[in-house]
Amino acid sequence: ADSTRDLVFIPTGSASVDYFGGERLGQNLYANSIVALRASTGRLVWHFQTVHHDLWDYDNASPPALVTITREGRRIDAVLQATKTGQLYVLDRATGAPIFPVVERAVPRSTIEGEEAWPTQPFNSTLPALSPQRYSAADAWGVDPDEQEACRKRMAGLRNEGSYTPPSFEGSLVVPSNIGGAHWGGVAYDPERSIVVIPVNTIAAEVQLIPRQEYERRGKWAADPEWIRKTSEYTDMEGTPFVMRRSMILSPKGLPCTPPPFGKLVALDLSSGRRLWETPLGSPSSLIADSAARTAARSWGSPNLGGPIVTAGGLVFMAGTLDDAIHAFDVETGRELWSGSL
């Protein structure tokens, strides 16, 4: 404990610019990292990089949690960092070494001239992923057949090689999206039960790089239908040859093209490393006009950007969803016990 008393733990963001790294080739330390500094001297003690050469806006958006876990009969002071990539890294507070194993796995290469995606990324090999790591066009979802078909066609036209598919000229399906996976809300930890609770999003995004001259000639991407253009962000990535277009992959009616739940709470048992439960969080009913569909949507979960609270009495409280409510869950089972309108 003495060796960690004087440490400051800093989660870092992405290297600029977010979606093209041709001007910053390499691993890009210490971006996308947890950095431990000695507070009395400012000296670097350790670092752990959660994403190498980030091309997906996967900054470490939430604060790390400092907890004590029991693993194989030994109490360990730990740092918990939940990430937009849908991973929970559990690190030894003194050394930064993963307490649950982390392995480097090969990921897709970039097809953009001048870009060199890092060939591997870190994945937990024991702890389960917090959110889906891949969708295909066959997974397309919709509230009716026309919506589902529109989503299927949109997803089928994108580059899609699973986790860490780099941005591309044709557009890439990015999952988890830039809002996670886990996100700004961080985690809550029950020290009596060794349960960590993490809010996550499950929806996918599309990211496209547009050559600057082509964008200037054509303006906003005229090749796309209006229902896609109106939900897209266009970013002038100054100093690069490209403009970036990004959007959540939504249907013509504005609902996610990937299947529900669109947001959920996930609980892991950190004594064993297993998933204890997961449950839909909130509802997107405010986005739905049809009353029958609104009723069904109560179980669909909602995109969320809040943080959970765990109480000593075994409750989890969570808001930050589209249904403008605060929800209470049983920390041991995930059963929703109560909700109140905000």
CA-to-CA separations, 58 to 52, 154, 321, in angstroms, rounded: 10, 23, 21
Gap between the Cα atoms of 304 and 319, Å rounded = 8
**What is the DSSP-derived secondary structure letter of residue 256?**
B
Q: What is the DSSP track for 156-211?
A: HTSB--STTPPPBSS-EEESSBTTBSB-TT--EEETTTTEEEEEEE---EEEEEEE
CA-to-CA separations, 113 to 26, 134, 157, 201, 206, in angstroms, rounded: 15, 25, 21, 32, 20
Which residues neighbour 101 within 8 Å (Cβ) at sequence distance 6 or greater?
Answer: 124, 125, 126
Gap between the Cα atoms of 335 and 321, Å rounded = 17
Q: Which residues are catalytic?
A: 57
Token output for 199: 């809010």
